[in-house]
A and B are shown apart, each in its own frame.
Chain A
Amino acid sequence: MATRDNTSLVDLFVARATEAAAKVERIGRAASEVRAAVARATEGLSSLVVADGDYLQSDIFSSLRTIPQVIPKPTDDQLATADAGITEAFAGVARSGSICVAMGPPLRSAASLLMPLHVALLPVERIVLRPRELFEQTGIGAEAMQRNIIFVTGPSATADMGPLVRGVHGPHRLHILVLE
């Protein structure tokens, strides 16, 4: 877990996630600052879905819901056609530039999968160095063992049609907001 090497761990995370074609920003975690960053990230889009968090303070999510394009209680039909999903990330993995999404809470899975843009809010203290730390019996691993977890590294991609194409069935863009 993030300790005194926090800075280099976060730097590594940012570098690797960027290499994996995610967009990464480091911001503060005041609700207003997060709201402004999400509003910028989703500018020009007309329908957003916000899923509740597990770890970040709840005022962040209530303030995100005041963004006008957010659909308050989306139906499944709306989920299938929305432009962007905003979710919390369960953890970040520095070495691979991945985030983890823990499934379960309403809208979380859909908001991280069905829309062309996924915006993930990653609390900086939840960044670990290597993927396998999520499988250790202590710390963040112990929590992860209880959940359905997805490691997300960059947007969905394929090389099946020849060249590398980003944006297949899953999100075409991944935007990670690291909350310090």
Chain B
Amino acid sequence: MAAPPAPAEAYDAPRAVANKRDKSALLRAIRMALGIESDAIRRNTQTFNRNRYREAAALPDYEALKDEARAIKERAIGHLPDLLMTLETAIRARGGNFYLASTAADACRYILGVCQSHGAKLVVKGKSITSEEIRLNHTLEGAGIEVAESDLAEFILQVADEQPSHNVAPAMHYSTERISALFKRKFSTSEPLDTGEELTKFARGRLRQKFLKADVGFTGANLVAADTGTVMLVESEGNIRMSSLLPPVHISLAGVEKVIPAQSQMGVFLELLPLSFNGKLTSYISFLRPPLDDPPFALTGRPRKKREFHLVLIDNGRMKLRQDPVLQESLYCIRCSACMNCCANFQTVGGHAFGGETYCGGIGGAWEAGTGTLENARFSDLCTGCSRCVNNCPVRIDIPWLNEVLRDRLNRSSAGSPLASLLGIVSFVRGDDRRASAQKVFFANYHWYAKWGARTRAFANGVIRYGPARRLMESLVGVDVRREIPPFPAHPLVRAARNLPPLARAGKRAKVVLFPDVYTNYGLPQRGIATIKVLRALGVDVVVSDAIPEGRAALSQGMIATAKKHARHTADALLPYLDQGRDIIVIEPSALAMFRRDYRHLLADAARFDLLRTRTFDPVEYIARLSAKSGRPARDLFDLARSPVGSRLFVHSHCQQKTLGCAQPTEALLREIGFDVATSSVECCGMAGSFGYKKEYYEMSMAVGEDLFGQVRAAEAPDAGGARALVASGTSCTEQFHAGLGRPVLHPIELLAAILKL
């Protein structure tokens, strides 16, 4: 899968591809990241991710804490102008200085002024991503002031001249070997520079002198309490403690969104913020109300000055963001990095590719757009909407929704193309949505091509297997030729269901309507047939609704008007079934997630959303519920001995299933029947709907998939008992398995249909 290793010089420097207004920069950044950064990024993010899951699971009130944090942030952003006034009073009452900067240039000018008023020659700096946003180092160094980055990660970035690749561990894309090579190139020293210990010792030695001699200490702030002026500072190395304690002047810089009403509320964030990063409290978390009353510190020969403190808060677009009906939510962000560490795409390429000049990851798009321009958010195209970050965000930000809205705005701001307009017109795309790229218009309306593909099956199946036709498709709408398009079936699900034998027994137990999502209907109808068969055998009355696009495809391409139209039509079609007392069954997890999560944003009527949300189910989840309700154990219904694939399974749950909480019931049911179930622990297979089909993302998608393929191999190692049958519920996951392992995949419902006892 990986390209042959190329020397680092063969790639663009991270800074050169930091701004992704131009899509080619995004593609070059992906190439660079896959080439030289990916291994370190994967190792680090996945370690953070595991640690967070472990500790969050051990915290009994994790969900309640998130609710509390969310409520505090909502209130804080809602009352921000008042809070800023209260804060200013609190800071001044203690003899500190308060400055509210409107722009990056304004903040830089103020900070430079403070430094110059003290004749500062050396500023020692703790980690502050906000200072990267305003390019503070550039201003200070331009004025002849030495800036010593004292966080070791920032120290590496300063030496390498790179932007952060992560909010909390900004140099996590560097392996020890690469740091060693960098330091050997940049420093002439007799000290050894090979191991992590040696590199740390070297950097510590250089920086110790800086702390003792600095004229100004500069830090960020993780939170600021308006009532007392208390600043929260989270770190592990001790450099922030030094920066705030040793120099006579302390400047702290933060975005205005870091202000919360009261110091007493900081305890919630103390428990949630470090946990959401790496599971545990970091070594040092300071709560300070500077200027400190500790005696000033001065080595012999240096003046002993009175302590001075400046809190600089910056707007730089945030107050405008606060007025944005959707992106406003991004201001709740406490920059914990959970959404990066749990994101399969981010784990593979990190923030140099999945990020802009300062901010990165799923939340980074809103931040870059808010503090820069909309075009700066172009990299958020790498958000596949897999939803894995949603439950991991400590302030419950709906990150994929922010990215869908950004994509929608980017589509609308582009000029469009004749091909996109044409495709849009024939497939009934809403007017403005046709301005997206032809590729996006194509994927958003796959249902339309699938319908016609099925109607002209012989011809269409010829086309999708005919090389020149596929190459034409690749060049016109960017569907990668290396991807298999599932052949159109002789009978889509809706038609095939009509041919099923009539009900053997009347459904008394429950009544459902099976919604034939486009992927099941036109791609894998056998999954629908299996669902009908099993449910009927369990005494459920099953009917099949019309096939209509539910809106996932349009939503994921950022065509929100079209997605809303699809959602409305789907709700209109399905609500009458609910009135008849039927629950809804949806097989494709990404379609299911529309009903359970995304319709919140797409349906105007909250009551309709609530009805759909609470009465729509994954088929296996539904069967597990039936079995539990009836008190009949699964072993009475299903017979392991009939399994056509043996008893050893490798089950990979779809990303949306994991978020919706219906992965666990499937795994549990299979185990109850007696299967030996190994499961994947990856966040996403890498295919993620249309993402992996897109020509420009094929390599990245396969690189993401490597983790999943590796887990299959490990679960099938001779000492792990050998081969297993692959089981997956998602259409995309199925295609990803085909591409990566070239093996057949069963949906769990197909397996259940094969082992029915009844």
Inter-chain CA distance A98–B199, complex, in Å, is: 27
- Measured CB to CB, the closest approach of chain B to A23, in angstroms, equals 15
| In contact, B196 and A169 (Cβ under 8 angstroms) | no
Can you name 20 A-B pairs with beta carbons within 8 Å?
A: A77-B300, A80-B299, A108-B294, A109-B292, A131-B281, A132-B267, A148-B286, A150-B284, A152-B283, A152-B284, A153-B281, A157-B236, A160-B155, A160-B171, A161-B196, A163-B197, A165-B197, A168-B238, A169-B211, A169-B237
| In contact, B245 and A151 (Cβ under 8 angstroms) | no
Partner of B284, one of A106, A132, A141, A170: A170
B153: interface (CB < 8 Å): yes
| In contact, A170 and B238 (Cβ under 8 angstroms) | yes
A104: interface (CB < 8 Å): yes
- Measured CB to CB, the closest approach of chain A to B383, in angstroms, equals 26
| In contact, B200 and A158 (Cβ under 8 angstroms) | yes
B271: interface (CB < 8 Å): yes
- Measured CB to CB, the closest approach of chain A to B264, in angstroms, equals 5
Within 8 A of B (CB), among A66-83: 75-77, 79-80
Inter-chain CA distance A154–B280, complex, in Å, is: 11
* Residues 133-160 of chain A, each 1 if its beta carbon lies under 8 Å from chain B, else 0: 1111100010001001111111111111
B448: interface (CB < 8 Å): no
Partner of B236, one of A132, A150, A156, A163: A156
| In contact, A169 and B207 (Cβ under 8 angstroms) | yes
Inter-chain CA distance A151–B236, complex, in Å, is: 11
Inter-chain CA distance A160–B237, complex, in Å, is: 10
For B27, list chain A residues within 8 Å (CB): none
- Measured CB to CB, the closest approach of chain B to A166, in angstroms, equals 9
Q: Taking CB as reference atom, which chain B residue is nearest A96?
A: B281
Q: Taking CB as reference atom, which chain B residue is nearest A103?
A: B294
Given contacts A150-B287, A159-B169, A161-B179, contact A132 B196 (CB under 8 A): no
A26: interface (CB < 8 Å): no
- Measured CB to CB, the closest approach of chain A to B239, in angstroms, equals 5
Q: Taking CB as reference atom, which chain A residue is nearest B58?
A: A95
Most B CB contacts (10 A, CB to CB) among A20, A109, A159 go to: A159
- Measured CB to CB, the closest approach of chain A to B497, in angstroms, equals 55
| In contact, A76 and B237 (Cβ under 8 angstroms) | no
Most B CB contacts (10 A, CB to CB) among A79, A133, A161, A167 go to: A161
For B731, list chain A residues within 8 Å (CB): none
Q: Taking CB as reference atom, which chain A residue is nearest B170?
A: A160
A110: interface (CB < 8 Å): yes
B139: interface (CB < 8 Å): no
For A136, list chain B residues within 8 Å (CB): 264, 267
Given contacts A157-B237, A160-B156, A161-B152, contact A169 B242 (CB under 8 A): yes
Within 8 A of A (CB), among B1-55: 44
Q: Taking CB as reference atom, which chain A residue is nearest B61?
A: A130
| In contact, B267 and A131 (Cβ under 8 angstroms) | yes
A53: interface (CB < 8 Å): no
B503: interface (CB < 8 Å): no
Q: How many A-B residue pairs have CB under 8 A?
A: 160
For A150, list chain B residues within 8 Å (CB): 241, 284-287
- Measured CB to CB, the closest approach of chain A to B702, in angstroms, equals 27
Partner of B239, one of A76, A77, A110, A169: A169
- Measured CB to CB, the closest approach of chain A to B38, in angstroms, equals 15
Inter-chain CA distance A109–B208, complex, in Å, is: 16
Inter-chain CA distance A152–B236, complex, in Å, is: 9
A171: interface (CB < 8 Å): yes
A162: interface (CB < 8 Å): yes
Inter-chain CA distance A136–B200, complex, in Å, is: 38
| In contact, A77 and B299 (Cβ under 8 angstroms) | yes
Given contacts A135-B263, A148-B292, contact A161 B237 (CB under 8 A): no
* Residues 270-312 of chain B, each 1 if its beta carbon lies under 8 Å from chain A, else 0: 1100000000111111111100111101111000000000000
- Chain A residues within CB distance 8 Å of chain B: 20, 75-77, 79-80, 96, 98, 103-104, 106, 108-110, 113, 130-137, 141, 145, 148-165, 167-171
* Residues 232-259 of chain B, each 1 if its beta carbon lies under 8 Å from chain A, else 0: 0000111101100100000000000000
For B286, list chain A residues within 8 Å (CB): 148-151
- Measured CB to CB, the closest approach of chain A to B291, in angstroms, equals 10
- Measured CB to CB, the closest approach of chain A to B9, in angstroms, equals 23
- Chain B residues within CB distance 8 Å of chain A: 44, 150-153, 155-156, 169, 171-172, 174-176, 179, 195-197, 199-200, 203-204, 207-208, 211-212, 228, 236-239, 241-242, 245, 263-268, 270-271, 280-289, 292-295, 297-300
Inter-chain CA distance A164–B287, complex, in Å, is: 25
Inter-chain CA distance A16–B266, complex, in Å, is: 22
Q: Is the interface of A mostly helix, strand, loop or mixed?
A: loop
Since A113-B245, A148-B287, A162-B174 are in contact, a sample of 4 more A-B pairs with Cβ atoms closer than 8 Å, ordered by chain A residue number, is: A136-B264, A152-B283, A160-B155, A168-B238
Q: Taking CB as reference atom, which chain A residue is nearest B245?
A: A109
Given contacts A132-B268, A150-B284, contact A163 B196 (CB under 8 A): yes
Inter-chain CA distance A98–B241, complex, in Å, is: 16
| In contact, A151 and B285 (Cβ under 8 angstroms) | yes
| In contact, B271 and A131 (Cβ under 8 angstroms) | yes
| In contact, A169 and B292 (Cβ under 8 angstroms) | no
Q: Taking CB as reference atom, which chain A residue is nearest B152?
A: A160
- Measured CB to CB, the closest approach of chain B to A80, in angstroms, equals 6
For B169, list chain A residues within 8 Å (CB): 159-160
| In contact, A76 and B289 (Cβ under 8 angstroms) | no
For B203, list chain A residues within 8 Å (CB): 161
For A110, list chain B residues within 8 Å (CB): 245, 297
| In contact, B283 and A76 (Cβ under 8 angstroms) | no
For B285, list chain A residues within 8 Å (CB): 150-151, 153
For A104, list chain B residues within 8 Å (CB): 293-294
- Measured CB to CB, the closest approach of chain B to A2, in angstroms, equals 18
For B271, list chain A residues within 8 Å (CB): 130-132
- Measured CB to CB, the closest approach of chain B to A127, in angstroms, equals 15
| In contact, B238 and A156 (Cβ under 8 angstroms) | yes
| In contact, A137 and B299 (Cβ under 8 angstroms) | no
| In contact, B236 and A135 (Cβ under 8 angstroms) | no
Given contacts A76-B297, A77-B299, contact A149 B283 (CB under 8 A): no
- Measured CB to CB, the closest approach of chain B to A160, in angstroms, equals 4
Partner of B289, one of A148, A156, A157: A148
- Measured CB to CB, the closest approach of chain B to A156, in angstroms, equals 4
| In contact, B280 and A170 (Cβ under 8 angstroms) | no
For A161, list chain B residues within 8 Å (CB): 152, 176, 179, 196-197, 199-200, 203
For A164, list chain B residues within 8 Å (CB): 196
For B284, list chain A residues within 8 Å (CB): 150-153, 156, 170
For A133, list chain B residues within 8 Å (CB): 267
Given contacts A110-B297, A149-B287, A168-B239, contact A20 B280 (CB under 8 A): yes
For B280, list chain A residues within 8 Å (CB): 20, 96, 153
- Measured CB to CB, the closest approach of chain B to A49, in angstroms, equals 13
Given contacts A148-B292, A169-B204, contact A156 B237 (CB under 8 A): yes
For B298, list chain A residues within 8 Å (CB): 76
Q: Taking CB as reference atom, which chain A residue is nearest B236?
A: A157
| In contact, B176 and A163 (Cβ under 8 angstroms) | yes
Inter-chain CA distance A170–B240, complex, in Å, is: 10
| In contact, A168 and B204 (Cβ under 8 angstroms) | yes
- Measured CB to CB, the closest approach of chain A to B475, in angstroms, equals 43
- Measured CB to CB, the closest approach of chain A to B46, in angstroms, equals 13
Inter-chain CA distance A163–B518, complex, in Å, is: 47
| In contact, A145 and B294 (Cβ under 8 angstroms) | no
Given contacts A80-B299, A156-B236, A160-B153, contact A135 B267 (CB under 8 A): yes
- Measured CB to CB, the closest approach of chain A to B644, in angstroms, equals 47
Inter-chain CA distance A137–B265, complex, in Å, is: 11
Inter-chain CA distance A80–B271, complex, in Å, is: 33
Given contacts A104-B294, A151-B281, A153-B281, contact A135 B237 (CB under 8 A): no
